[in-house]
Amino acid sequence: TGETLWIYMSGFGNEFSSEDPRCPGALPEGQNSPQVCPYGLYAEQLSGSAFTCPRPANKRSWLYRILPSVKHKPFIAAPCGDLTENWNEVEPDPNQLRWLPFSIPTPTKKKVDFATGLHTICGAGDAKSRNGIGVHIYTCNASMVDMCFNNSDGDFLIVPQQGEILITTEFGKMLVEPNEICVIQQGMRFSVDVFGATRGYILEVYGAHFELPDLGPIGGNGLANPRDFQCPVAWYEDRHVAAGYTIINKYQGKLFACQQDFSPFNVVAWHGNYTPYKYNLTNFMVINLAFYFPLQPPAWPALELPLLFALGNCMSEFMGLIKGHYEAKEEGFQPGGASLHSIMTPHGPDVDCFEKNSRAELKPERVAEGTMAFMFESSFSMAVTKWGLQTCQTLDKNYYQCWEDLCSHFDPSWKPSKQ
């Protein structure tokens, strides 16, 4: 990526406006769709919500582009590879599941870009009824050339694990590095450039957009602060592509492709609150201004906290490790791998972690230094795909053994100590 200085606008769900400095005054003044737009541009509205929904929930942006997005050849079916919404490929498996790091293809053997390197590992629901989720892995080694991706089914939350990715969108460019996440919302076209072996995770949601949780008793500050979210600034290319530019569209769980003879990233200016955005996980703040915690904290002040085994959890928990060592399972849970603990399936720290922490002196101690893990938690009972259980060949079939040496510490003669 060289010495490029990337510029962003700050805020979550803000009303933004941006124009490429090469075309000052490209944003119309006082109206969204004038009879003739500045510079002879076309006005388009991209809607992320119903037109008539209440103002706080209304998501839309106006884009002013050189050629309209409707100017393309018809969509035709395209190979889906390992991307799927078929949750009945294999029989259900309630066991604790863990995957070793997912393999990245070698470029000398096969060049794989982001679109062809998508693999669905688990999910639930249905894109047609707009109710459900999918969890995907991406592994690639080549940039997308004269090609972009558009998800008509839902939002992509992308979590890079190895290798930075340069995402070009209709709204501008974002450089997203490991330890950052980004969201490409439904209907937004984007292309991904990579700079070597690249791997990461994706959470796709069909029926809603991502929101920041309410803070409740902790007050007005903490967790993910809106000001730390960043969205791109306008950037356009007026590029004719004689050989054809490919738009890949994910629609009702399948892939389709169409051709056009120009770059879709021809938006000279835009304004609105429906945008792509990114966020640096190191900015996550646990409560008020006391400590900084990512999703799974790298520094944990010692409190008298119980060491929990989550028996009978009514949620599905998909976890990935971006970097470092996850304390509850330091050996088997590796960066670039994952685990899935399904609804009501018991799980928790392995035997080494339990024994170590049961005997440890309760004193201030920093743990998981240099570690970043994340969890996709859902009330959906997620099914694992055939690729996840068989094809990927990284499923750790010995995962259950990390709990086998847990032994009974029950002592019927125990008496409480006198204080």
Q: With helix as H, strand as E and coil as C, how does 50-86 read?
A: CCCCCHHHCCEEEEEECCCCCCCCCCEEECCCECCCC
The sign one gets for the Cα dihedral 389, 295, 184, 114 is: negative
Write down the pLDDT at residue 109: 87
pLDDT at 312: 59
Q: Are 385 and 363 in contact (CB under 8 A)?
A: no
Contact 185, 154 (CB under 8 A): no
| SS3 assignment, position 243 | strand
Q: Tokens 């002040």 identify what position?
A: 301
Q: Where are the beta strands (DSSP E) in 11-154?
A: 16-19, 42-47, 60-65, 76-78, 97-99, 118-126, 131-140, 147-151
No. of helices (H) and no. of strands (E), the chain: 2, 24
Per the CB < 8 A criterion, the answer to whether 207 and 128 are in contact is no
The answer to whether the CB of 296 falls within 8 A of the CB of 373 is: yes
Say how far apart CA 333 and CA 47 lie, in whole Å: 40
Kindly tell me the burial class for residue 167, based on how many C-beta atoms sit within 10 Å of its own C-beta (0-12, 13-18, 19 or more): buried
pLDDT digits (tens, 9 = 90+) for 336-346: 999 999 888 87
- Which pLDDT tens digit goes with each residue over 261-306? 999 999 999 999 999 999 999 998 866 444 444 444 444 443 444 4
The confidence score (pLDDT) of residue 330 equals: 54
Annotated binding site: 317, 326, 347
User: How many CB atoms lie under 10 A from the CB of residue 235?
Assistant: 19
* Spatial CB neighbours of 150, under 8 Å, sequence gap ≥ 6: 187, 188, 189, 190, 247, 248, 249, 250
270, 18 Cβ separation under 8 angstroms: yes
For the record, the structure tokens of 243 come out as 């050989």
pTM equals 0.90
- How far is residue 27's CA from residue 39's CA, in Å, rounded to a whole number? 10
Return d(Cα 115, Cα 102) in angstroms, integer. Answer: 17
Find tokens 């051709």 and name the residue: 259
Question: Where is the binding site for Fe cation, in residues?
Answer: 317, 347
The token pair that represents 154 in the structure block: 């839902």
Q: Which two tokens stand for residue 94?
A: 């309630």
The per-residue pLDDT for 304 is 40
Q: Report whether 67 contacts 264 (CB < 8 A).
A: no
Low-confidence ranges of the chain (pLDDT < 70): 1-4, 286-312, 326-332, 350-351, 353-358, 360, 362-368, 419
Query: Helices (DSSP H) in 80-219: which residue ranges?
Result: none
Structure-block tokens of residue 287? 């409560």
- State the Cα–Cα distance between residues 291 and 296, nearest whole angstrom: 13
Joined together, the tokens standing for residue 125 give 């629901």
- The residue behind tokens 């470092």 is 324
pLDDT at 182: 98
Contact call for residues 339 and 333 (beta carbons, < 8 A): yes
Going by the annotation, the residues of the binding site for homogentisate are 326, 347
Q: In whole angstroms, give the CA distance from residue 139 to residue 107.
A: 11
pLDDT at 366: 62
Please tell me the distance from the alpha carbon of residue 313 to that of residue 221, in angstroms, as a whole number.
29
